[in-house]
Homo-oligomer: A and B are copies of this chain.
Amino acid sequence: MTVTPQECAGEVLETIPLIMRTIRARMRAAPPLNLSVPQFRTLMFLRRHEGASLSDAAEHLGLSLPSTSKLVDGLVAHDVLMRQPHPGDRRRVTLTLTAGGRSTLRTVQEAAQAHLAKLLTALPADRREVVVEAMGALREVFAPDRAQAAERVGGRT
């Protein structure tokens, strides 16, 4: 069976928003902080890129600078993120997770991942493998710079 790009695109268009809905709902429901998906992604990025600038974050997130700035406003207001002056270039800001932010992120990530994992137990292992392979392929297509395997919390030990 040969799958055309059009067919593949149709499946993606049908399926991704559906999954997104579940991810969003779970993220918002996860204590201790009701993070939105963009907020979560911002924290994930900053955990991997300590002290990144606003522009760095905007580029990674695929958002405009004003949107990113506002996103950061919210995170700072919730005390999970710090905006600090950049030593050496006073136009820049340096973004860093607070200790609480680090802990919140860990908790929320584990909760969201655990919830998805629970749903995914409905699939046999070989179909989960297909899903993992597909996710890799899609990251190559949609974000060639981030095509490596995702971070694994609670994965094989």
Contacts and interface: CB of A to CB of B under 8 A. Distances in A.
A156 B10 CA distance: 12
Interface stretch (A77-85, A87-95, A99-107, A127-135): A127-135
Contacts of A146: 14, 18
Interface in A30-70: 37, 41, 61-62
Contacts of A134: 130-131, 133-135
Given A41-B17, A142-B18, A11 B132 contact: yes
Contact of A156 (B4, B12, B41, B128): B4
B5 A150 contact: no
A7 B155 contact: yes
This chain: copies in complex: 2
B116 A13 contact: yes
A28 interface: no
Given A130-B137, A136-B11, A17 B37 contact: yes
Contacts of A18: 138-139, 142-143, 146
Interface string A107-126: 00100111111111111010
Given A11-B132, A19-B138, A128-B137, 9 more contacts: A4-B117, A4-B156, A7-B128, A11-B149, A12-B116, A13-B23, A16-B20, A120-B141, A122-B141
Interface of A: 1-23, 25, 37, 41, 61-62, 109, 112-123, 125, 127-143, 146, 149-156
7 contacts: A2-B129, A4-B128, A9-B113, A12-B131, A13-B23, A13-B109, A122-B140
